[in-house]
């Protein structure tokens, strides 16, 4: 994989290779190439460490090579070649402020819903029609931190490979299995068939969070940031659960509500119990 | 207060009055005027409903007057005059997308720390050197939702009257007492003297959240989004508490960590017990 020619630094920001990387900012190109761009040391570090099998290319400028030696070391151990490039080339590939001189191109990593369900998950996070990249990424990060087994972005949600989503996950995209592209009705049907309860998170839910049944396997279903969950979705779910509002606030935003719900699941989960799908 | 002349709609976006409203986007002007701008129906609604004593002026365009009749009604009940203005005038006053045709000018509402402590709070949220407007506003909103008694933004934090902070609070700025401008060392000293424990929230804390002592009155201390809490601050706090990370995520972001901590306080708080300072 490593050749002498490949060791030469990329210096031309207008090179075909550089333009192809930059083009991954567009969804149509990502779909065609089956790849996406990871910008910045945090994302690249986690990609190289946890999913080197997915990493096609890593590009660093000289400054970043000095500042993030652990990325180069992990890449070397994984047998990945890190291609040096000038600062101008990195800036042409993506958002210079975000990338801090290091980017990776990764193959798409989403997995089929059936595969996630076959692993007997205890906690899933389903994002139904979540459109804001920052919200989706933040919930994915929280799902990781709270020990959820997988995240499902339904068909009408934001693209998980959108650069802003990738960045907002802070590397968690490479830690948690992700399912994309399945309509919410199908997701709920399959989740129920797999024996999981479904909890629709909704400010008007009739079950308060601390009373929700979270000791058995379950999926949280979170709705759109502006209009929440559609009535048809709420009706299909086992329970509609509300995070208690103690003060005068009207509601919590999506990411905050998801954080409270997912951490409540973590608290209810017997540590290391059966059904754990992540090591 | 209401005069016939004042009922005439404002039509000139370049009028001195309009320029003075727009100038409130700058901190120096806010400080000089002792006032700040509230943009959008959610913020204005809560200001008019909960703190009409603070509201100097409300401006609406004809569309907004139709869409948000409850704001006009609450204003009328509170004896406030709502001044009609054209869409162009509203756009010149602030961010049109944010304001949706309705803005209010309010007097500053921060209160002295001593006043907050005299009310025997059970839970406080202290933001030390929090700089990002969205984070500060989100934590304030969460403090409200979780039933915290007050929020303290230390001297080196973002200005709570920054339009982005105001917007991120989603109206909670008018629900929870806010203290600003006191250096963090002084805040901690006063809080300890008032008999509260202090919990520094930090990913490396030696107390895990579920073991933290939250039944007695306490203040959460949250640090800067990038570099957390300074060691001197951590050392002074009663405990350094970490939110458990169950997956492979490195950390939670500030707003998520604060959400988990403040909701843990809510869960530990005896409902309606003594010391409640908010009705």
Residue B165's alpha-carbon distances to A256, B25, B82, B147, B170, in angstroms, are: 16, 12, 24, 19, 9
Q: In this structure, is residue B275 part of a structural domain?
A: no
Are B138 and B219 in the same domain? yes
Q: In this structure, is residue A17 part of a structural domain?
A: yes
3 state SS of B126 = strand
Q: Are B259 and A253 an interchain contact pair (Cβ–Cβ within 8 Å)?
A: no
Are B138 and B65 in the same domain? no
- Asked if B213 and B152 touch (Cβ cutoff 8 Å), the reply is no
Q: Does B170 touch chain A (CB under 8 A)?
A: yes
- Rounded CA gap, A261 and A207, in Å? 12
**Residue ending a domain, choose from B59, B83, B107:** B107
Are A121 and A249 in the same domain? yes
Are B157 and B176 in the same domain? yes
- Asked if A247 and B246 touch (Cβ cutoff 8 Å), the reply is no
Q: In this structure, is residue A40 part of a structural domain?
A: yes
- Strands A218-222, A123-127: parallel, antiparallel or unpaired by DSSP? parallel
- Strands B102-107, B55-60: parallel, antiparallel or unpaired by DSSP? antiparallel
The pLDDT value given to residue B5: 53
- Asked if B110 and B160 touch (Cβ cutoff 8 Å), the reply is yes
Q: Are B244 and A266 an interchain contact pair (Cβ–Cβ within 8 Å)?
A: yes
Are A160 and A235 in the same domain? yes
Are B215 and B127 in the same domain? yes
Of A175, A252, A260, the CB nearest to B249: A175
- For residue A267, list chain B residues with Cβ-Cβ distance below 8 A: 210
- Rounded CA gap, B33 and A114, in Å? 61
Are B129 and B89 in the same domain? no
Question: What DSSP element (H or E) covers B187?
Answer: helix B184-193
Of B148, B171, B259, the CB nearest to A250: B171
B19-28 pLDDT, tens digit per residue, is 999 999 999 9
Give me the sign of the Cα torsion angle A242, A245, A249, A254: negative
3 state SS of A201 = strand
The pLDDT value given to residue A6: 56
Are B138 and B256 in the same domain? yes
Shortest CA distance from A253: residue in chain B: B138
Tell me the CATH number at B65: 3.30.1330.30
Question: Would you give per-residue pLDDT tens digits along chain A (279 residues)?
Answer: 444 455 689 999 999 999 999 999 999 999 999 999 999 999 999 999 999 999 999 999 999 999 999 999 999 999 998 999 999 999 999 988 889 999 999 999 999 999 999 999 999 999 999 999 999 999 999 999 999 999 999 999 999 999 999 999 999 999 999 999 999 999 999 999 999 999 999 998 999 999 999 999 999 999 998 899 999 999 999 999 999 999 999 889 999 999 999 999 999 987 644 444 454
- Asked if A134 and B253 touch (Cβ cutoff 8 Å), the reply is no
- Rounded CA gap, B21 and B103, in Å? 10
Of A50, A247, A253, the CB nearest to B138: A253
**Residue ending a domain, choose from A85, A107, A129:** A107
- For residue A171, list chain B residues with Cβ-Cβ distance below 8 A: 249-250
Q: In this structure, is residue A275 part of a structural domain?
A: no
Residue with the larger pLDDT of the pair B204 and A128: A128
3 state SS of A194 = coil
The shortest C-alpha distance from B170 to chain A (Å) reads 8
Interface size A-B, in CB pairs within 8 Å, comes to 108
Residue A16's alpha-carbon distances to A20, A108, A121, A199, in angstroms, are: 6, 22, 43, 48
Q: Are B145 and A245 an interchain contact pair (Cβ–Cβ within 8 Å)?
A: yes
Are A143 and A8 in the same domain? no
Structural domain that includes position A18 = 4-107
Indicate which of B121, B124, B145 best probes the interface with A, i.e. most A CBs within 10 Å of its own CB: B145
B9-65 pLDDT, tens digit per residue, is 999 999 999 999 999 999 999 999 999 999 999 999 999 999 999 999 999 999 999
Are B122 and B250 in the same domain? yes
Q: Are A144 and B248 an interchain contact pair (Cβ–Cβ within 8 Å)?
A: yes
- Strands B218-222, B123-127: parallel, antiparallel or unpaired by DSSP? parallel
- ipTM score here? 0.89
Of B244, B245, B260, the CB nearest to A259: B260
- Give me the mean pLDDT over the B160-166 stretch: 97
Of B145, B210, B246, the CB nearest to A247: B145
- For residue B259, list chain A residues with Cβ-Cβ distance below 8 A: 252, 256, 259-260
Tokens 């919590």 identify what position? A252
Residue B275 reports pLDDT greater than 50: no
- For residue B143, list chain A residues with Cβ-Cβ distance below 8 A: 247
Closest C-alpha among B279, B271, B266, B155 to residue B218: B266
Angle, helix A133-145 to helix B254-268, in steps of 10 degrees:
60
The pLDDT value given to residue B274: 40
Per-residue H/E/C for A11-61: CCCCCHHHHHHHHHHCHHHHHHHCEEEEECHHHHHHHHHHCHHHEEEEEEC
Shortest CA distance from A249: residue in chain B: B145
Radius of gyration of chain A (CA): 20
Q: Are B249 and A278 an interchain contact pair (Cβ–Cβ within 8 Å)?
A: no
Q: In this structure, is residue A261 part of a structural domain?
A: yes
Query: Where does residue A149 rank: exposed (0-12), middle (13-18), buried (19+ CB within 10 A)?
Result: buried
Radius of gyration of chain B (CA): 20
- Rounded CA gap, A68 and A41, in Å? 7
Are A54 and A36 in the same domain? yes
Residue B1 reports pLDDT greater than 70: no
The pLDDT value given to residue B271: 66
Q: Which two tokens stand for residue B176?
A: 């929870």
Are A163 and A245 in the same domain? yes
Q: Are B247 and A42 an interchain contact pair (Cβ–Cβ within 8 Å)?
A: no
Q: Are B256 and A259 an interchain contact pair (Cβ–Cβ within 8 Å)?
A: yes
Indicate which of B252, B271, B276 best probes the interface with A, i.e. most A CBs within 10 Å of its own CB: B252
**Residue ending a domain, choose from A107, A131, A164:** A107
B89-125 pLDDT, tens digit per residue, is 999 999 888 899 999 999 999 999 999 999 999 999 9
Q: Which two tokens stand for residue B255?
A: 């707003």
Residue B186 reports pLDDT greater than 90: yes
Q: In this structure, is residue A238 part of a structural domain?
A: yes
Q: Reduced to 3 DSSP states, what percent helix, strand and coil does chain B have, rounded to the nearest 5?
A: 45, 20, 35
The pLDDT value given to residue A269: 86
Residue B279 reports pLDDT greater than 70: no
Q: In this structure, is residue A200 part of a structural domain?
A: yes
Tokens 């909704």 identify what position? A202
Residue B163 reports pLDDT greater than 90: yes
Total domains in the fold of chain B:
2
Of A210, A244, A247, the CB nearest to B176: A247
Q: Does A108 touch chain B (CB under 8 A)?
A: no
The shortest C-alpha distance from A119 to chain B (Å) reads 16
- How many other CB atoms are there within 10 angstroms of residue B85's CB atom? 30
- Rounded CA gap, A181 and A130, in Å? 12
Tell me the CATH number at B162: 3.40.1280.10
């Amino acid at each position: 994989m490593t050749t002498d020619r490949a060791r030469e630094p990329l210096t031309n920001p207008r090179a075909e290779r550089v333009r192809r990387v930059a083009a991954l900012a567009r969804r149509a190109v990502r779909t065609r190439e089956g790849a996406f761009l990871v910008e910045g040391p945090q994302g690249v570090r986690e990609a190289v460490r946890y999913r080197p099998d997915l990493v096609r290319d890593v590009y660093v400028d000289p400054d970043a090579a000095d500042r993030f030696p652990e990325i180069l070391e992990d890449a070397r151990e994984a047998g990945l070649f890190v291609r040096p490039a000038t600062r101008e080339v990195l800036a042409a590939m993506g958002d210079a402020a975000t990338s801090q001189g290091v980017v990776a191109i990764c193959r798409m990593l989403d997995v089929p819903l059936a595969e996630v369900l076959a692993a007997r998950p205890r906690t899933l996070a389903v994002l139904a029609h979540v459109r804001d990249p920052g919200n989706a990424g933040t919930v994915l990060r929280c799902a990781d931190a709270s020990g959820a087994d997988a995240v499902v972005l339904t068909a009408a949600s934001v693209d998980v490979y959108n650069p802003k989503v990738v960045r907002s996950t802070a590397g968690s995209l490479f830690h948690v299995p992700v399912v994309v592209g399945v309509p919410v009705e199908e997701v709920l049907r399959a989740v129920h068939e797999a024996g999981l309860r479904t909890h629709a998170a909704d400010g008007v839910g009739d079950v308060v969070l601390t009373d929700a049944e979270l000791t058995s396997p379950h999926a949280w279903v979170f709705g759109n940031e502006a209009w929440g969950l559609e009535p048809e979705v709420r009706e299909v779910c086992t329970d509609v659960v509300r995070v208690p509002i103690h003060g005068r606030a009207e509601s919590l935003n999506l990411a905050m509500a998801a954080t409270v719900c997912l951490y409540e699941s973590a608290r209810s989960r017997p540590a290391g119990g059966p059904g754990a799908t992540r090591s």
